[in-house]
Each structure stands twice: as structure tokens, then as C-alpha cells.
Copies of this chain bind each other. A is one copy, B any other.
Amino acid sequence: MPRPSSDLKPKRQGRPPTIENARDRILDDAARLFARDGYDGTSLSELATSVGVTKAAIYHYFPNKQEIYEAIIVRTLEGLRRHVSQATAGASGPEEALARFMTAHADFFEDHYDGFLTMLVGYGGMENVVMIAEAQKLRDEHEQSLRQIIADGITRGAFRPIDVDVTSRAVLSMLNWMVRWFKPGKGRRAATFAQDYCDLMLGGLRG
């Protein structure tokens, strides 16, 4: 029996077949290709071949390569923000909240490595003002949640009266720089390095 919608909707000529989770699949493969061959080194034809669809099908979802690149960045930041805020929500105190923030950030980075590489190594190439604003909003929220953990720690006496700006920048620098030396699946999880950084930061160097 034909599905009712087949008769009700007019058929567009050349319309690509519906692809399951098409947007996400396109972004996944694009991130993988950008991470491997760079933005300039990746063509939409290669991307279409990788996803297993026609180039027209790609254009059905994204007007051009630049928009795919920007969608990868925003999707990566959305996922990071969601994952880290869920992880920190149930923390019992500032030290645990900081550890959870850092390990959750590192876990998400490792599990979405291609997206991070595209975002952090593809340097400053966003153009769409709406996407730039969205990415900035997500980055600000992520950083703000870290600053809140540090500020809470100071207020509750768990942390010294350290500078919140310096501390949050130091933490994010250690986490973000992982993109330049950490390779997923080659030994320890990124989160174990993040936990080491957290312990070092908490205890300090002085004997």
C-alpha cells in the first residue's frame, strides 16, 4: 500500500531521495575530510562520494562548503556545551565541579575529534554573521560556566582568592591545546590528561 503522503505531495523533479539523518551525516563526513585534508583540500564532490549521495543532495541541505564548515563549528560547540553542563550539574563541590568540567570537555573533544580539529585548526574562517554570533554565544556560555565554578570555589573558601580571568584562561588553554598533540585511540583517554591538569592546578607546584 502506498504511503498517503506520496499521493498528497507534489513530486519535485530531481529531488534527492530522503537521507536518514542527512544533515548530521554530511557534517560528520565533512569534519572528517576537513580534519584530514584541510578545508581547501576538500571538495563537495569528495564529500558527496563519502556520504554516498549526489552533489545535488548535498546542496539540498547546504548552499556551499563554507556553510558546512560553519555548521560543524556550531554543532561542535552546542554538543560541548550540553555535554559539559550535564556533567557539572551534579557536582558536590567546587573541586569536583572543576574536575568534571575539565574531564567532560576532554571526553567530548576526544569523541568529536574531527569537529574540534576543524574548529580549532581551521583558523578564524567564519563569515556568516548569524553563525559567528551563535558560535560566540556558545563559547561565552561555556567559558562563563567555568568562571562560575571558579568564582563559587573562591566564595565557598575552597579556592584561594585567585584571579578568575587568569584561571579560566589557563584551564581552557590546557584543554584546547590538546588539539595540537593528542591523538584519539592511541593510549590514554584525553580525560585522564585533563584530570592530571586539574590535580596540578588544584595543588599547585610549591612544596
Contacts and interface: CB of A to CB of B under 8 A. Distances in A.
**Chain A's interface: helix, strand, loop or mixed, by majority?**
helix
Interface residues of A, number: 40
Given A40-B40, A123-B121, A176-B177, A202 B200 contact: no
B162 A205 contact: yes
A206 B166 contact: no
Interface stretch (A5-13, A65-73, A81-89, A152-160): A152-160
B206 A203 contact: yes
Given A153-B205, A159-B205, A174-B174, A200 B167 contact: yes
Nearest to A117: B123
Interface in A166-207: 166-167, 169-170, 172-174, 176-178, 180-181, 193, 196-197, 200-207
Contacts of A202: 204-206
By CB atoms of chain B within 10 A, which of A38, A153, A196 has the most? Answer: A196
A158 B157 CA distance: 25
Contact of A206 (B121, B160, B181): B160
B201 A204 contact: yes
A141 to B, nearest CB: 17
Interface of A: 38, 40, 95, 98, 120-121, 123, 150, 153-154, 157-163, 166-167, 169-170, 172-174, 176-178, 180-181, 193, 196-197, 200-207
